[in-house]
Amino acid sequence: MSALRWGCGAAGLGRALVPAGRRRLLAEEGAGALDGIWGRRRSSSASPCERDRRKDWGHAELLEVLEARVRQLQGESVSEVTVKRVDMAQIPEGSGSSFQLSRKAEAGAALELRGRWAEKLDKEKRIMQKRKQRLEVKLQAHSQKPPREQQPRPLRVEPRLKNGQLAGCLQRWARGSPASPWEEQLAQVLQEAPQKLSCEEVQAPADRGAEAQLSGQRQKLLAFFECCLLTDHLPLAHHVLVTQHGNFRRRWLLTLAMYNTVMLGWARKGSFKELVYVFFMVKDAGLAPDLLSYAAALQCMGRLDQDASTIKRCLEQMARDRLQVQKLFLAVPMSEEERAALLTAVRKVKPAFSPPPRPTPRVNTSPLLKDIYAQGGPVSYPKLHLPLKTLEDLFQQQLRVELATTVQVKSVEKAPPLTSEVLHARETLRSLRDQWEAALCHELQEIKAELARRAREGRPTLYPHLCLLSEQETAQMLLQVLQVLPPQGESLIQLAYQLGTRAFNRHVVQRKQREHQVPALQRRYSEYLRLLACDTQVDPPRLPRQHWESLGGPGGEPPPEQPWPLPVLVRLGKQLAEVLVRAVRMPRSPGAPAGAEQLIPVLYHVYSFRSFRQIGILKPHPAFSQLLATAAEPTLTFEAAEVPMLCPPLPWTSPHSGAFLLSPAKLMRAVEGTIQHQERLEHCPPAALHGALDALTQLGNCAWRVNGRVLDLVLELFHARGCTRLGVPPPASEAPRPPSRRPAPGTPPARLAELRREAARCLKAARELRSLRADALYRLSLAQHLRHHGAFWLPHNMDFRGRTYPCPPHLSHLGSDLARALLEFAQGRPLGPRGLDWLKLHVVNLTGLKKRESLQARLAFADQVLDEVLDSADRPMTGRKWWMAADEPWQTLACCMEIARAVRSPDPTTFVSHFPVHQDGSCNGLQHYAALGRDSAGAASVNLTPSDLPQDVYSGVAAQVEVFRRQDAEQGVRVAQVLEGFVSRKVVKQTVMTVVYGVTRYGGRLQIEKRLHELQDFPQEFVWEASHYLVRQVFNSLQEMFSATRAIQHWLTESARLISHMGSAVEWVTPLGIPVIQPYHRTAKFQITGGIQSMTFNNNSDSSQRPNTLKQKNGFPPNFIHSLDSSHMMLTALHCYRKGLTFVSVHDCFWTHAADVPVMNQVCREQFVRLHSQPILRDLSRFLVKRFCSAPRSQNFSKNIQMRKLFQTLLALPETGTFDLEQVKQSTYFFS
């Protein structure tokens, strides 16, 4: 997911330091990277315990980066850089020797400042000194002037109109007697035809880059108006609208949605005069009122109890505009109070009018889902194992969590002894935080006053956004972020996005409280729980979504909260980050008495140079990092949406309603800033999404619990320096360290280069280890926090292809072997007659020892190693440790423990098992290709046909490559002779696995090269030539073994290439009705100027940009196959739910209880056959022809040629074979 590139962390050896709180001299950030914002940082007050020998590392690093920047400038001849002095905390006692080295290093670096670049630096320094002197003179002169009272500029109400007729009409009415009714004005202005704009006003942007910048400006304006309504600053919004409208060069930025937003605000207040002013501006701008415009006018008249004649004329004008009154109640999102005011106005004219009833929920008519939504028929929807009263208590707990917006969790990091030093550090932090909170509140008040003044000048600012939260709430949020800044710093653009997102999430929760949605939610959810609780019944049985919808009021769902555009989020976050930089200061020596020392900034703004990019970073002062490390506070702070839920999630009912109780969640996760996916979901018929909505709800309703025995063992290793082999990362103190001594004078350049590479490797390894350790800390802390909860839930959403993911990022079953082993089903199921056998088969599958053996042979092997299984369960850390040699060691250990409990129970058939058993697809991507092409040979290679033993496609490809190699070796090909004995399953596996997902020959060569490097006996001088040879033979083997697969891939690739050449992104609809569009476009740049630095970030997911042809064509085949495997998974989930099974998945790996594996296997095979019995490729061809080849002929000759070629390509479907899909139902190893 890489449309937006973030500059993460402080990687890069060279940096230029700028003191915090001052205006930057080099303010440009060359190209901020915002590449994916899926990995979230934690709010944590727990820090790793640093030893005394590391206390001065931060100080040394600040000097080291100066040297690094000097070296970089020497190599790149960069002419301009400004480095200012950084205030340093006092050096602790005993650290003098190391800092003497650092001072010598600084002196050495200064001696190297020679040459042309140094002269330019000196020149720049002199220029900046002169500028500073001139600025000081101006400031002194300004300070000597007597202060004058600045009266706030009055807010404008009456607009300035360009159309002479409208302007004259407005002036006559505005200056007339009170007998001139404003209602009459509204009726007259509605009858005015929209004025055509001049050519200058309607001219389009010159290029798509300007169009993207225009879109960003409009998003900023609309967000300003909407926030003014939310914060009760409607007069300010009207003033800015009037000012922008009166500036004829900027009027074209205004859209009808902006006018409607202000109109709606006046309608809610019953301010008819101001509403009419906005209608005048709409007509003057050449726009025609829409349903929302008329709804605002009628609401206002309904509140003011206007006479029927004005309302009648308004309704008549609506009819002339071909707008229906009924649609006001169906298509316009409104609250109950707004609906009532609108209805009052309409009934003045039509006393017998009744709002149209809510449309009867349509039923999904997809042939794949007819059994799911069929009325009648036997169903056995599963119940939770908890009674109604317990579930209601859990709901109240979750509600309190989301109202608080954060969760405090005790860290599992080993706590230091509570010495006087630790206690003093914690007390110092508490005192500083109290001071910082007051300073932040004061700074926020000042910045809000300044932004309000600018807004009064008619410019949209962030003032209403900052008013959404109180100063105290905002200050606490900023301090939480400060707490977890890593010592190496955080990219300013990434930090800005996180702050903006947190502010938005808190605003959403507070708005739901203000609008009294929480009591309604409590009543509705209590009734909903009757469907899920084990001691209540609902008749007739329904799916959770259907039951939730039946409990809704006559007005339907409340209007959804629209997310803020990405530029607005980043601007707001940047403003908050700058507030944090300016306000938060601390003594140079934390132990000094208050007021005894100069205060220094806690945060510094630094630059990190990566290639030609300049990334701005906020870096904490080493004294602050050391204070945090010494205090080692024992808590972590998580956002509410990052923690598993304590009650069942809300069912998904629409693209913007579901999952958490109050916290916002997206149905379709996408690259930040992408709106095309949400737009297609909202324009999709609601019934078409029912399959996906119900599948996501079913996955989220699975209750989980923590496997306490496994957690205790992992914590034991976590506290004992970790174990890399078992996936438990060691502490940061175990990271490799670069040589501490500086190279001696006269060291050869080659040796110096080697030392630099070694230092870079150590730095990279240390940062990776710190990241892995933090990830493990969050996961284990959350697991420890939830271990005593009887159950918790993981709400799900999906990506743009339909693949599903848990929303909480840190603790879920979608992760590493360790993450999966920590969880088990909260609801148990008796093993029954075959359950123990499935547990035994599962433990063998997890070891990876018998992949090519039959199920009977695996079961016999499990009985042979039963003693090892029991020893692993009884003495995991002191016994023979058989489980540690498995492919998935922690899951193997958890399964050993479950088997041990089962075999030692009085009756294994009645043993209640909570352990999830997996069934994996056999190279699932190739399975879908083989089924699409009805390829008999390919189907046999990937276990679509019945067989006594599982087929291994990787070994088959390796064998075919070996045949080609022998033929070439006999003909004297040198590289083929060198490869004798080295062509193995392991060498080709990764390439074969990823070919189906679009890997190119270049990528495949790199994969094979890596495998050859791992072979100790292979002559390394032939690696490059051998990897080229092998990747060619692997592709040739796949072409021979999977001819239909390669033909389908080629057809998909060529279709995507032609579509993108025509200027469109590839889109399609999955068999379950999910609209898909590929988010690969050319890069559009957005710039945010001002403050401590300007930021330029790239957005290559904006649908207004031209598509990226290379990514569109390479991405279509794998994305299309992913949309098919997600459809298969959702179908399996829905049918398993109908049969009463517990079911979850990790893409093509399906999980259920051991006793239910046979039923799940049957459903899985049946739904695969049903899915591929549909004419999938023919339906895709028809959709693409209708979508991209149905436009009228263009005057552009080349475009017509392209469309004709695309039309011919889409109709030329690949030929299919004769494979019988029904064989899949009898294939034992299809999923096993």
> Cα separation of 15 and 7, whole Å?
14
pLDDT bucket at 592, cuts 50 / 70 / 90: low
Antiparallel, parallel or unpaired: β 1084-1088 and 1094-1099? antiparallel
> Cα separation of 616 and 1090, whole Å?
13
To which H or E segment does residue 384 belong?
none
Q: Which range in 105-114, 250-259, 590-599 is most confidently predicted, on average pLDDT?
A: 250-259
611: left (phi over 0), alpha (psi -120 to 50) or beta: left
- Report whether pLDDT(1066) > 70: yes
pLDDT of residue 22: 37
pLDDT of residue 1102: 61
Higher-scoring residue by pLDDT: 994, 1181: 1181
420-424, 485-489, 540-544, 1142-1146: segment of lowest average pLDDT: 485-489
Higher-scoring residue by pLDDT: 62, 1172: 1172
Higher-scoring residue by pLDDT: 105, 530: 530
587-601, 1121-1135, 1146-1160: segment of lowest average pLDDT: 587-601
The pTM assigned to this predicted structure is 0.85
DSSP H helices, 904-1022, are 924-933, 936-941, 953-970, 974-978, 985-995, 1001-1013
pLDDT of residue 173: 67
Distances in whole angstroms, Cα of residue 872 to Cα of each of 95, 548, 884, 895? 49, 46, 9, 10
pLDDT in tens, 691-739: 999 999 999 999 999 999 999 999 999 999 889 999 999 988 888 888 7
- Report whether pLDDT(340) > 80: yes
pLDDT in tens, 605-661: 888 876 667 788 999 999 999 999 899 889 999 999 999 999 999 999 999 899 999
Of 944, 875, 531, 470, the C-alpha closest to 701 is: 531
Are the C-beta atoms of residues 243 and 208 closer than 8 Å to each other? no
**Residue keyed to tokens 């000196």:** 122
- Report whether pLDDT(1189) > 60: yes
**Residue keyed to tokens 């049957």:** 1162
Are the C-beta atoms of residues 1058 and 1202 closer than 8 Å to each other? yes
Dig out the tokens for 166 from the structure.
């409208």
- Report whether pLDDT(211) > 80: no
pLDDT of residue 1076: 94
Average of pLDDT values for 1024-1041? 87
pLDDT bucket at 187, cuts 50 / 70 / 90: low
Higher-scoring residue by pLDDT: 1104, 676: 676
Q: Which range in 44-53, 338-347, 583-592, 800-809 is most confidently predicted, on average pLDDT?
A: 800-809
> Cα separation of 1044 and 1038, whole Å?
10
Are the C-beta atoms of residues 410 and 785 closer than 8 Å to each other? yes
Q: How many CB atoms lie within 10 A of CB 545?
A: 21
* Rg of the chain, C-alpha, whole Å: 33
> Cα separation of 841 and 1061, whole Å?
51
Q: In the structure, how many helices (H) and strands (E) does the chain have?
A: 44, 26
Are the C-beta atoms of residues 1052 and 1209 closer than 8 Å to each other? no
Q: Which range in 216-220, 588-592, 749-753, 927-931 is most confidently predicted, on average pLDDT?
A: 927-931
What are the catalytic residues? Answer: 920, 989, 1148
Are the C-beta atoms of residues 1086 and 1099 closer than 8 Å to each other? yes
- Report whether pLDDT(44) > 60: no
pLDDT bucket at 440, cuts 50 / 70 / 90: very high
Using CA of residue 129, residue 131, residue 133, residue 135, what is the dihedral sign?
negative
Average of pLDDT values for 900-922? 94
**Residue keyed to tokens 């040589």:** 739
**Residue keyed to tokens 């800390």:** 777
> Cα separation of 459 and 870, whole Å?
73
pLDDT of residue 499: 95
- Report whether pLDDT(1123) > 90: yes
With a pLDDT cut of 90, the percent of the chain lying above it is 47
DSSP letter string over 584-600?
-EEESSTTSPTTSS-EE
pLDDT of residue 95: 40
pLDDT in tens, 506-518: 999 999 998 889 9
pLDDT in tens, 389-439: 999 999 999 999 999 999 999 999 988 888 999 999 999 999 999 999 999
pLDDT in tens, 843-896: 999 998 888 899 999 999 999 999 999 999 999 999 999 999 999 999 999 999
Distances in whole angstroms, Cα of residue 812 to Cα of each of 105, 870, 1053, 1177? 48, 27, 35, 35
Rounded to 5, what percent of the chain is helix, strand, coil?
A: 55, 10, 35
pLDDT of residue 15: 32
pLDDT of residue 1091: 84
DSSP H helices, 720-853, are 749-786, 817-821, 832-847
pLDDT of residue 642: 94
pLDDT bucket at 503, cuts 50 / 70 / 90: very high
